[in-house]
Structure 1
């Protein structure tokens, strides 16, 4: 983590001089600086909070990351609950009611609680990106859906509250990446029953394989293969052995890559589904 600081404070304290600010540091937000180099999401979140004069509460995806959610890009806009409509580029401010029990602390920063963070994520953005964000937060925290729904009673007039139940109903903590979330939603939108995620399959050595998603009652699985499956020789070898074993014990595995067309993935899943359901009916 870089040392992020308020420039005017550091100058007044003699910790840096103007030459150092201009030549060995980078301006992150107005009057907020850090040493030159790449900044993490935590660095940028801290910088946004400092820009607010240490008054804001971190919300949204940055708050989710502070609670441990993975797959949050380092360059996302930092969302703050703060009364300022002239925020710099890279900061989004909103002025919404936050009750005392909806604010906590993570990493020394004031941040919305897990439940309030989920409440905000469910109300904003597109359906697919919102569910992916909620999946990541659920994976990290296993937040109770009921706790989030309760917040709707306290904030009935906030924008997006009406879609809260449908968004939360779609959440699945078993998703291991946004791509897996999108794949699950594609299958559901195509008319398939909601797939189970992280399906355990016993291995001969007493260990387990976990399939991304599928329908264990008919032994059909759909799995998303990330780039490491193709770039790592070790991962590729393990995948071949895993696939052979699953086929040997009766599973049909539909493997999906990033460049596969959605229509093709759905067609392949449908063929696997039809093959198994026809066999069960005969």
Structure 2
């Protein structure tokens, strides 16, 4: 018996008594238990949801992307399963959708959608910005073929959300280092800027690496950097940033630094001004 198990199976197998189950374990889904005081992670909950389905479901969506290695997933996200079940417990989303044999694979003993099918489901079922962030994270962790996803679009032409999926696929970029960076890139695209390049390496006059910029437009030497919390809490990173900005300016780069509290309109205005000054014609 592992740390995540079905209570009825543990009792039937003689591993636990009903008293011990109630005394030492807590349920995360109906008849699925973990030790008390254990904070269930998204991987724990994904495995628990699969056990709840009596090992019949196919794991998909954000949970599947996590199993494929995608990062930046909160532990309390709903676990999406491909399963014909009308009223799943809270925390589980059951979708009665068709899958072919080439759309699933095994990770351990669990049936999981392939990266392409996972992308197909992410792009259809999530809100636009969230979907692109999850697609970026999946592409970064487990690169998938956009062409393979489009083949699924042709296989299921009437599937829910395919129009949004078609819009998002050309925008997917595994270079995004966080959902915040994806959001910033989408902000620029929606504002009419050319699609920015991600992870731009900058070298100095001697060919030494100076910095890899989050995103930007090399033709105009304009870039944007999202400063997350690590820039505030990590002293080493803070000192490194202080030293690198003058070098980037000397090399001709105009970098818009963005923090969470910035207003979208201000970010667009600052970046537009820099781009126009470098010759961009909106």
2:84 is aligned with 1:102: no
Distance in 2 between the 1:180 and 1:108 partners?
A: 34
Look up the match of 1:54.
55
Distance in 2 between the 1:212 and 1:186 partners?
A: 14
- The RMSD of aligned alpha carbons is 1.5
Look up the match of 1:6.
6
Q: Deviations over 1:11-45 (max 9, x none)?
A: 11121222221121110111110112111111100
Q: CA deviation at 1:78?
A: 0.3
Q: Deviations over 1:225-273 (max 9, x none)?
A: 0001011111100111121211111111100000111111111111211
Q: How many residues align?
A: 278
Kindly report structure 1 stretches of 4+ aligned residues shifted beyond 3 Å.
203-208
Look up the match of 1:27.
27
Q: CA deviation at 1:205?
A: 7.2
| Matching of residues 1-282 of structure 1 within 5 Å | 3-36=3-36, 37-203=38-204, 204=206, 206-207=208-209, 209-277=211-279
Q: CA deviation at 1:190?
A: 1.0
SS in 2 for 1:277: coil
Work out whether residues 104 and 114 of structure 2, in 8 Å CA contact, stay in contact via their aligned partners in 1.
yes
SS in 1 for 2:139: helix
Work out whether residues 66 and 107 of structure 1, in 8 Å CA contact, stay in contact via their aligned partners in 2.
no
Distance in 1 between the 2:184 and 2:108 partners?
A: 33
In structure 2, stretches of 5+ residues that fail to align are: none
Instruction: Please report the TM-score for the alignment, with normalisation by the length of structure 2.
Output: 0.95
Q: Deviations over 1:134-183 (max 9, x none)?
A: 11111112211101000112111211123322110111111111100110
Distance in 2 between the 1:213 and 1:107 partners?
A: 37
Work out whether residues 83 and 95 of structure 1, in 8 Å CA contact, stay in contact via their aligned partners in 2.
yes
In structure 1, stretches of 5+ residues that fail to align are: none
Q: Deviations over 1:61-100 (max 9, x none)?
A: 0001111111111110000001111100000001100101
Work out whether residues 81 and 93 of structure 1, in 8 Å CA contact, stay in contact via their aligned partners in 2.
yes
Work out whether residues 210 and 244 of structure 2, in 8 Å CA contact, stay in contact via their aligned partners in 1.
no
Work out whether residues 69 and 141 of structure 2, in 8 Å CA contact, stay in contact via their aligned partners in 1.
yes
Work out whether residues 62 and 79 of structure 1, in 8 Å CA contact, stay in contact via their aligned partners in 2.
yes
Work out whether residues 64 and 137 of structure 1, in 8 Å CA contact, stay in contact via their aligned partners in 2.
yes
Distance in 2 between the 1:116 and 1:146 partners?
A: 12
Distance in 1 between the 2:109 and 2:241 partners?
A: 42
Distance in 1 between the 2:244 and 2:207 partners?
A: 13
Instruction: Please report the TM-score for the alignment, with normalisation by the length of structure 1.
Output: 0.95
